[in-house]
Amino acid sequence: MVHDYLLTLAACNTVVPTKIKLTSSGNLEMEVAIAADEEIALVEYQGESPDEQALVAAAASYGYTLVERTSNYIVINVLGQRMTFELLGMHEFDSIRKCMSVIVKCPNGQVKVLVKGADSALLKKISLSEKTTHIAGERQAQVLFDTQMHLDMYSNKGLRTLVVGVRELSDSEFTNWQQLYAKANASVSERATLLQEAAQAVENDLILLGATGIEDKLQDGVPETISTLRNAGIKVWVLTGDKQETAISIGFSCALLTHDMKQIIINASDKQQCHDAIKAAKEAYVQVDNRHRMFRASGRSYDFATELPGGPEKVTELSNASLSRPFSQRMKLDSFRSINSSRADSGRSRHGRLLALIIDGNSLVHALDKDLEQELFDLATACQVVICCRVAPLQKAGIVSLVKRKSKEMTLAIGDGANDVSMIQMADVGVGISGQEGRQAVLASDFALGQFRFLQRLLLIHGHLNYRRLGYMVLYNFYRNAVLVMLLFWYTLYTAFSTSPAITQWSLVLYSVIYTSVPTIAVAIMDRNLSPQTLLKYPGLYKSGQENESYSKLLFWLTMLDTLWQSLVLFYAPYLTFRHSTIDIWSIGSIWIISVVILVNLHLAMDVEHYTWITHLAIWGSIVATYICLIVLDLLTDDDSLVYYGTIFNIAGTANYWLDIFLIIVTALLPRFVLKIVKQKIWPSDVDIAREEEIRKG
């Protein structure tokens, strides 16, 4: 059994041994190792999964060294003796069988099926017949008992486990499998189904050889990252293929699960049992209005799925008592630290204990049905921690889809392996971790990270700033274009809808191309309301996006109301000034265009929160560029431009021209300026308080 056990570890994989040698030029060169090499200084194993590499390395440490792999044979150095195994076929791992097998012909002529896979699938294929017991040389029942004990021990330590088995094929069994395998490979439309049938024909009546346990170390900063994300009001769920005990152990190692949490464990074998378990858990622990309170409070929620579980947590806002104090007192650091405190009311049971839902893949098969998915959603969203273990890739995607369909929240999925691709593609935002698991997840994702801990900066810094910039730019660009359109609308009301515009066609075109475009781009790229250090220090500030502080229907209509006011000031200030004069429409149009350009740029300047030399150059340079363009346009002498030749020189020489511009700017921006000051002093948001604290510290 030991021979077959180590042979399976060395052969049942897709690992390719490579040799590393030093060239004459002093460079390291890597090439595929072959058995004919007399001396191989250094062998490195290349494979799809680091788990496979670890198992092959473990077999090599016990004398079963994989030397060469081709499509036809495998060469293994068995305790100093090189043995060639003919590779007859391979059934790669899939989410249905949950195992991998290779069929090899040993040097003595025996045909063996070497299998490794998940214990939930492989233990069902173990044979306890007398014939199998005789072949194994010892009672399989005892081996099965010992293996299950080892699996439990490995899982409790947080190790990733696999079960190893073997079967010797008779001539008739091999012939039958060979026909099925050849038919599957020749098929075009049903190849996957036929390959599964061929695999199931030989992956049964196995001799249990034992189990493996692989340590899956957490990356640096994972517990801190999860804690920070939860403090930011982000819901973190785990969707993993590991055993339940392994997932729970990892949850504790990440400080995600705590011993004072009430664990709701659901392991159901049929639909009725699953329904009864979910219903009983809801009645016993879940408050009726938890779901509504938790999801209503979060304008944005993320669903993380990697090897790391997490849970929902609300972030404490400043208390009402602190809000009633003077602003200067609230700006004390001790009061400000309440932004970073957390509250888990949404994840507490009726008895005040934190809830953790732990559900396995077999239960999810029934829980994701249309009849039970609402019950599952209600229970999951009422818990602070959700861990889904032993889930298939499609089940991961199903859970993400459930959250998207049952709520209005944004979902983000993060994974590092090929089994996370469907989940990443299902989520609104997909993040792939580039690591030893390959690049399948990265290629299917929207963002790629080197390590999980970089998620803090992606969300808390770039996510916060980009949301704020995008929200503001949507409102500003609506305002920037609407204020000019409304100005022209008021003009048409006084000119009987004449087709003769007061503002030249060139100025109307250049308004969005030159006059106001550069400041918009500069602010959209450069502006930030808080420094990265502050955003990382107080993750609760991320809730400003969840609470729609930068963009909402209310802000949109307030902006449109402000736009209406500014357009009225733009039109009526020059109209009232020159209504009894003999001024022509081109001259008053010159006042309007320069006034609206200065107005929208000063409007933008008043909202900028982080000035740089680029921002100053863009805003003030655009105003100067507008004057230069107006002067150039008024000097054109072609037939179309001659009617407003020299307009700017004539009107700019009067005092009313400059007085009107000053009056327009002050009158139009005064209400917005007053409201901004009142809001920051009387009803400040957490972001306002953090910014004031940042300014106070210099």
- Please report, in range form, the residues annotated as the binding site for Mg(2+): 416, 420
Where do we find the tokens 């150059």?
617
- The H or E element containing residue 77 is strand 73-78
Contact between 516 and 598 (Cβ < 8 Å): no
Contact between 172 and 236 (Cβ < 8 Å): no
Residue of 610, 618, 672, 663 whose CA lies nearest to 475: 672
The secondary structure of 203-265 as a DSSP string is SSSBEEEEEEEEE-PPPTTHHHHHHHHHHTT---EEE-SS-HHHHHHHHHHTT-S-TTSEEEE
The secondary structure of 582-639 as a DSSP string is ---HHHHHHHHHHHHHHHHHHHHHHH-SS--HHHHHHHHHHHHHHHHHHHHHHT--ST
Contact between 301 and 311 (Cβ < 8 Å): no
Distance CA 379, CA 209 (A): 40
Q: Which residues are annotated as a binding site?
A: 52, 93, 116, 160, 240-242, 390, 396, 416, 419-420
Q: Return the DSSP state at 354.
A: B
Distance CA 412, CA 54 (A): 31
Helix %, strand %, coil % of the chain (to 5) = 55, 15, 30
Q: Which residues are annotated as a binding site for ATP?
A: 52, 93, 116, 160, 240-242, 390, 396, 419-420
Beta-bridged to residue 104, according to DSSP, are: 87, 112
Query: In a 10 Å sphere around its CB, with 0-12 CB exposed, 13-18 middle and 19+ buried, how is residue 108 labelled?
Result: exposed
For 165-177, give one letter per residue: b (16+ CB within 10 A) or e. Answer: bbbebeeebbeeb
CA distances from 253 to 156, 162, 518, 543 (A): 11, 21, 50, 27
